Every structure is written in structure tokens, then in C-alpha cells.
Chains A and B, each alone.
Chain A
């Protein structure tokens, strides 16, 4: 009995008090998140035509609630989160299956689960859970075995199963995000670089085979599927359909110029060109009204968040904490990088919101939980 009680006492003594933990929070990061969210409030106010309703006020409430959730998550010991990781993954997976089943029994192609005040997309939860479970796996696995082929199978399965479920929804964007987040954790954990090279080569090979087989006898897809892929890759080919948004988005951004047309002076965004102007295409409004200065500043804020997270990661000697910090920061990075590249016509249009700025509760909640975990790792770092 004695040694156990002693150990507990020691542990309690090691753990800093509530106030101390509050002070150890990365307050600069919190400030940065607040700044980014404020850009969102401003833009939602603007696209609503200078009104807090219907979007801006609700977004503020959500961010407030998100902050509280982030603090709660941050103050809980990282060891608890480490313990809870596999369960989080299993819950997210079960919800994905549930959505799949509900969708098949005639409820329509739903991706949502109703939680009262907010509706939650299980695929959003999975973006965090995949990072947690892989971090846990690589903390548990002996470092000598990290690159052993046999020990690569469990993490690959952990990634592939939810990926397939999400692909069936079908949501290609989220499936790729899950895969990339998982890959980042494996990369950080030290899995040999050659595997990544091989995976990239294999993916390239499959794409090449599919595209090269077009028009031959052993053509792998149907003709209309090729047409859809080509329009997806090059929307300009379909100027009345997919290409329309991108063309209008580029006109809006470009016409903003260096300093922009001024707050609430954007004409393009106000002329109802874009049906997604308050969600996925909100960056367009910012670029039009605040020009290059505005869009580059937001980009700068995002880059700072990433840098802060990496600094925290580099300083953290707890392997689990470091892995989730890096993994979740990368997830955050994928969000804004893909969204910006999309509205600027660099990558095809996929449904990825601009994190903390686009209107939407589900993504906001998930992001704040992610930052709570990053903060928890920071507060309880060794």
C-alpha cells in the first residue's frame, strides 16, 4: 500500500495547482486565435450587409463557448487525454458507422448527428481522433520498431478504416484530410522517409494508370467519370458550372488590389455571385475589401499559429504531447492552406472551410478542442 500512496502523493506534488496551470497556458496563442476569429466576425458582419444577424453574432457566441471548452480541455492533464485517446478514436469510428447506417435506412445522405444546440459531423471528430490515437500508438511502440514493416500495419489500418467510411459519404476532401493528418503524425514519429516516398509514388502510379488507360481497351473508369475528374481538376473547362465560382472568386480577389475597396465596399461579394460567401468563400470578401494587405495579414496570423505550435512542440520532451501538438497544428494548417488555395484557383474546389473565420459551429468546436489539446500538452509539458 505504502509505495502506491507515496507515488500518488509525489505525483500530486508534481502537478501544479489550477492557478499555476492557468498561468502556464500559451496566452499568446489564445490571443492569436482571438484575432483570427475577430477577422471572421468582421467579415460575417460585412457579408450580412452591415448587420450582426444572421451570422456574426452567432459566430461570436460560438467562439465564446469554444474558448471555454478549450480552457477546460487544456486544464485536464495530458495523461488523461493520452489514456482517453483510443476511446476517442473508437467513439468517432462508431459515430461514423452510425451515420453510415442511418444514411442507408432512408434518412437521406446525412453526415450529421444532432446534439441539440449543435450538429456534429463525426468526420470532423475523426480529424482529431486520428491524431490522438496515432500519437498514443507511437508513444507505446518502442522507437526501434517505428519503421518496422509489420508495425506499420496497425497505424495504416487506423487511417484507412475511417477514410473508407468518409469516402462512402462521399466526402473526398475530409477523407484526404484524415489521411494527411495521420501521415503527419507518422512522419513526426520517425517512420522512415522512404515509406512516404513509396506511398507518394504508388499514389502517383495509380492516378497515372487510371488516366493513361482512357480510350484504350482496358479503360478503368466510365467516360463520364473521366469527364467529371477533368472538370474537377480544371474547372475552367466548365465555365457555367464548377468554373463559375472560381472565375468570380478570382475577379473579386483581384479587384481588391493592394489596399482593398474598404470595409463593406466590396461590390462583387455583395452581388450574390457566390452562394458560399459566408462559409467556404469568405476569404474572397476579405480579399476584396481589404486587398493584399488584408489577405496577407490573415495568412501571417495563420503562419504565426503554426510557428507557435511548433515551438511548443520542440520544447516538449513528452513524446505524446509533442506528437499531438505537431499533428493537430498540421491539421489546422491543412484547413487554411487548402481553403485559400481553393479560392485562389490553385487547387480544385473541395468543401473545406477557412478555420475560425468561416461561419459554422461544427468546425469551430472541433478546432477549439484541438487547440485545447495543444494547450494541455503545453501546460503539462515536461
Chain B
């Protein structure tokens, strides 16, 4: 088309001029007109030449293609890579799936063919409509799925009747299966059908997505590592005759399979975490402190990912979304909770580094802290008396941290929090990872349009107020305190059987003496009679635990409630109770494991979270049958199933003034 104008503009000057004699309006036009006509005739000539080339010169070639053979290009879907746990147990595998597809251009009358097929296998009415819709929407050569997950009898019946069903192709496909579905649902995720929206993603225009029944990752690792797992499609050009029978394969380009992934996760620990968490809405993260390997990542309650692979029913999906414990929500990655007293190590380390307090300096706690006309309460109303830093951790004194936080200031607290892995998104192949929130002056000005108050610093000092952390971040923080190095969490252990190198974690820049104070405090939490988690200790000198409890409020306590003195958690509706938190590492003297446990609305950290963490650590340290002697004398279970310890006194309650 552009050629027309181009020709007209290129050679006009030398074009044979008509008799220039004629005067008047038309003479100019007819000269230009002649040029234009000439250009148009040239184009017509080109078209005629092309017709001759197609229809006379090359006609034999095309007639051959048309008459006997048609070339079909088929994509060969690569096998999706499999996912294993750290011991090689498959977590995501491919199973054979018997199915039937139909190619419209080979079926003659597709509706007639569907009717015939419906006499052999069951095709529900809504499937019929879906199939006919796909027929009219897709090119004639694209196979459209008719029935999926057929049993062997139905599949055999279709095969036996194949001669009467041109265009109907029985196929054995691969379908994703998760053998330990619910235990790994939040980590591994699941695959599902390619949707219209997936097709429009400009960054992923892989033609393999057009293949019917092709499945791509929708959640978890399946989604985050989609490209690695998918591999690349192969192609196969085949010659078929007029009724679609394959005559020969012309060529074949094999695709590349995806890369098998081995996770750092141990299925046994993972399963134990879920079973130990029972019906609670909770999360647990177990991590190797030196390598950063995530050994267990539990978000409870969980769901059955295999339901999603075959297309989940409305009823099942409704049940999942309406459950107030939110099974679909990945709590270890994107659950953000006020860390409560587990944040006190951050404040302590910031204070030590800034030199605003010495480990032995004492702060007097009389049960509250007066700031102007506001009173900030300690969880123990009678007060703790004179406490030093170790004791402040051991007994989780709030007043000590109000005072210390005020001295350090929010800037240095925030800096230390980031160094310990809070407030940042850790790089893991999971689409759910959240960054939590470590408040700063700038953040508050930008998002709340308010200046930073000293009261905000005090609240932050006990992990309340604006501070938010995920269970993953808390586990990383604990591992970093235990090792003094900036350990990074990792989920992938090996790719295609090749172990990934463990990067050496850089030092945090804290002195051993500073860290030792905090570690001793955490040790006392578990192993001193006055410690808040004394009841959840492990009685084995080789496996002592160092930890910290936390209880974070989800609501404000009103002055009226405080006056009445009744705000016992058990008296409140479930969704207004406090969150229970616990972080720990073990063994205390040469750390190997770090753990964080959060039980949503579980009450006090020492009562609801610490026993769970202790049992998980025991499983990791001793295996399936921990020695009874490792339990405190009054808590030894009859059988390995751990007993629930009696409720400990309420602890660490961060109390925000009303």
C-alpha cells in the first residue's frame, strides 16, 4: 500500500508528459492522473505476477500440500519438573491422566461427533457448552479437551471406538499431584489451568500456554519458580492426510524439561508442625541457623492443593474462604503480627551498641512508666523492682524497655531491626512474602501525616504500636542473634540434583560481648525458675533452649476494662484474644536450630506458643521419640504425644494506654 504512493512520488518527473497544449483546470489533473494510473497499473501488474507465481509456477507444490498432505505443527509439552523434600521424598510429582481431545478440522461435524462420544463416556451438559464455545473461539487445528481424568474403562472404550470417531484423540497426559498435599500446600502451592489473564501477560508469551490442559503454577513455589519448573516446549511437524491420519513425522525438536527442585524442607518435621499445631490458626518456622535452610514452614490450618489442580468446586472453595482461620492465607510468609516482647532483643542490642545502657545497669519497675500525663503499664502490675538487662529479658519487664527505648530512640531501633532481618522482604521463591513494618519518623510522616511521638518509641520498644513482623522474619532474627551473622533463609537446596552452594553469611557487626548478654537473657527465659518459659524448657544439658516469649495485643484495653480488672483472655471472643508468640534457638551453647511460633489469638506466648516450639525443637533434635527425661518432670507424656502444660500466668502483655 505504501508502495503506491512511493511509486507515485519516486519517478514522476520523467514520466511521459501528455500534450501540454490543453489549457484550463483539467490539464494539471490529467498529467498527475496519468502518473497515478501508471502507478496503480504497476501495482496491478505486481499482483498479476504474484498470481502467476502461486498458481502456475508453484502450483504443483501447493497442490501437493492441499491434496494429500497437510502439515501439522504440534507442540510437545515438556514434563513439569518435580519437587522433593531435603531427603528426596517427592512433594510434587506428575501422574498419568487419561483424557480425550478433539480437533475440529478433522472431526467433520463436531456436534455430531460429540453426540457419538457422549454415548461412550459421560459428558455433562455444561461441559458440552464449554466445548462448543471453545470450538468457535479457537483455530480449527487446535485440539480442544473433551474429558479429563477418565477412568481406564472409559478410556479403553474411546480407544476401541476410535475408527468411528475421526478427530477424537485419546491421550495420556501428565497431571500434577501432591502426595502430601495439605502439609506442603503453602510452600509448594499448586498448578491450575491457564486462564485468559495468564495468556495476556506480556512477559510470558510462551506458545505452550495455548496447549489445552497445560497447567501453570498458581501459588507457592509452583508459581514463583514457574519458568524453572516449566522448561521449554518442543515441536513436532507431522504430515497428515485428508482425514487427519498421521503419515509421517517430518522433524522433531525436543523441548527441555524443567529443573527438578530439592527443598530444604523436611517432610517429617513439616508434618509434625502441622499436627502439633492442631486446629489452631497458627504458623511455625524452623530454620537451620548456620545455613539458613528452612526445615519446616507451617501455616495452619492448611488445605488440599490437589483439589485446585482438577478445578475446585464452588462449595469447597466457599468453605475455604469462609473459614475464620483462613486456611488459604500463608501465615508464615504474609501474616504480619506485632512481635510483642520477642522484639525486646532488638531494643536491647540497639541500646548496647549505642552505649546508652550497660548490661548491669538497673532500671526500677514499679508496674508502670509515666510519660507526661500518660502511663505505660508493665504486664506485671506489681512491678519487677530493680532489673538489669538479663533479668529484663528473663522476666520480660516492659518498663525496662520503655526506659531503654526512650534512651536509644526509634532511629537506632529501626536500624537494628533491619540488621536482624525485620522490616525487609527476604528473597524466597514464594509469591506471598511480605516485608512487615519497622516504623520510622519518615514512614509515619508519609503514611499517617503525623510527627513521631516519644510515646510511639515506647510502644515500639515492646514490639507493639506500628511494629509488624512475619513468622519467617522472627525466625531469621533469632538465627541471627544465635550466630551473630546475617543468615539468609533459603528454600531451594539443589537444582536438578546439583546442590546449591550455601553463601557464607556476613557478620552482623555486633560484638560477642553484646550478643552474649542477650543470649544469656534468652537462656534464662527457659532455664531460670523466674523465666517466662521455664515450664517449656528441655531438661537435657546437651539440648538446652534459649528463647523469648511474646504476647501481642490485637485491641486496645479500655480504661473501664482496666478499672474493672477483667481482661482475662479466656473471657473474650476468639478473634479479640491476644496473639501468642515464641522464638527460640537450640541447643543454647552451640545453636543449630532457630524457631518461631505464632498462635493467632492463642493467649499468652508462654502458655500457647512455647510448648509447641519446644516439641518441634525436640522432634528436630531427637527425632520421632524424644527421651522422656528431656521433659520437665511434671510434663512427661505417657506417649511421645506432648501434653498441654497447665496455663502459666499471663505474661508480656504489652499494654497500650487508652
Contact = CB atoms under 8 A, between A and B. Distances in A.
Interface stretch (A80-88, A91-99, A291-299): A291-299
Contact of B1 (A193, A200, A239, A347): A347
B85 to A, nearest CB: 38
Contacts of A318: 25
A317 B37 contact: no
B40 A272 contact: no
A177 B205 CA distance: 31
Contact of A334 (B4, B26, B207, B210): B4
Chain B, interface SS category: helix
A362 interface: no
Contact of A272 (B24, B32, B105): B105
Interface stretch (A69-77, A157-165, A179-187): A179-187
A314 B471 CA distance: 86
Nearest to B75: A240
B54 A188 contact: no
Contact of A341 (B47, B54, B67, B141): B47
Most B CB contacts (10 A, CB to CB) among A222, A223, A252, A255 go to A255
Contact of B73 (A200, A239, A313, A317): A239
Contact of A319 (B26, B50, B55, B58): B26
A306 B55 contact: no
Contacts of B46: 346
B454 interface: no
A227 interface: yes
Interface stretch (A44-52, A54-62, A103-111, A322-330): A322-330
Interface stretch (B5-13, B389-397, B643-651): B5-13
Contacts of B65: 251, 254-255
B498 interface: no
A285 interface: no
Interface residues of B, number: 54
A196 interface: yes
Contact of B62 (A184, A254, A295, A310): A254
B35 to A, nearest CB: 8
Most B CB contacts (10 A, CB to CB) among A190, A314, A340, A344 go to A314
Interface in B530-565: none
Interface string B31-48: 011101100110110111
A326 B62 contact: no
B516 interface: no
Given A188-B33, A268-B66, A258 B40 contact: no
Nearest to B23: A317
Interface in A257-311: 257-258, 267-268, 271-273, 287, 291-292, 295-296, 299, 302-303, 306-307, 310
A254 B43 contact: no
Given A224-B202, A254-B55, A318-B25, A340 B105 contact: no
B28 A303 contact: no
A338 B54 contact: no
Interface in B241-280: 242
A223 B202 CA distance: 9
Contact of B32 (A190, A197, A306, A334): A190
B59 interface: yes
A244 interface: yes
Contacts of A223: 202
A47 B319 CA distance: 53
B63 interface: yes
B104 interface: yes
Given A190-B32, A319-B26, A340 B207 contact: no
Nearest to A303: B44
B33 A255 contact: no
B29 interface: yes
Contact of B40 (A189, A296, A330): A330
Nearest to A258: B56
A316 B58 CA distance: 45
A250 B62 contact: yes
A29 interface: no
Contact of B28 (A190, A224, A256): A190
B590 interface: no
Interface in A179-225: 180, 183-184, 187-190, 193, 196-197, 200, 203, 222-224
A30 interface: no
Interface in A313-371: 313-319, 322-323, 326, 330, 333-334, 337-338, 340-341, 344, 346-347
A330 B36 contact: yes
Nearest to A292: B55
Contacts of A267: 66-67, 242
A326 B24 contact: no
Given A193-B9, A287-B51, A334-B1, A254 B26 contact: no
Given A250-B54, A292-B51, A313 B30 contact: yes
Contacts of A180: 1, 4-5
A254 B44 contact: no
Interface string B85-118: 0000000000000000000110000000000000
B14 to A, nearest CB: 12
A176 interface: yes
Contacts of A273: 105, 140
Contacts of A189: 29
A218 B58 CA distance: 44
Given A193-B9, A344-B47, A257 B56 contact: yes
B386 interface: no
A257 B36 contact: no
Given A184-B36, A295-B55, A337-B43, A227 B205 contact: yes
Contacts of B9: 193, 196-197, 200
A224 B202 CA distance: 6
Contact of B6 (A200, A257, A268): A200
Contacts of A319: 25-26, 29
B40 A337 contact: yes
B458 to A, nearest CB: 50
7 contacts: A200-B2, A222-B202, A227-B205, A253-B62, A254-B54, A255-B62, A341-B50
Shortest Cβ-Cβ A-B pairs, 5 listed: A254-B62, A255-B66, A292-B55, A224-B202, A196-B9
Interface of B: 1-2, 4-6, 8-10, 12-13, 24-26, 28-30, 32-34, 36-37, 40-41, 43-44, 46-48, 50-52, 54-56, 58-59, 61-63, 65-67, 73, 104-105, 139-141, 202-203, 205, 207, 210, 242
Given A190-B28, A253-B55, A255-B65, 7 more contacts: A188-B29, A193-B9, A196-B9, A222-B202, A255-B59, A307-B37, A330-B40
Interface of A: 143, 176, 180, 183-184, 187-190, 193, 196-197, 200, 203, 222-224, 227, 239-240, 244, 250-258, 267-268, 271-273, 287, 291-292, 295-296, 299, 302-303, 306-307, 310, 313-319, 322-323, 326, 330, 333-334, 337-338, 340-341, 344, 346-347
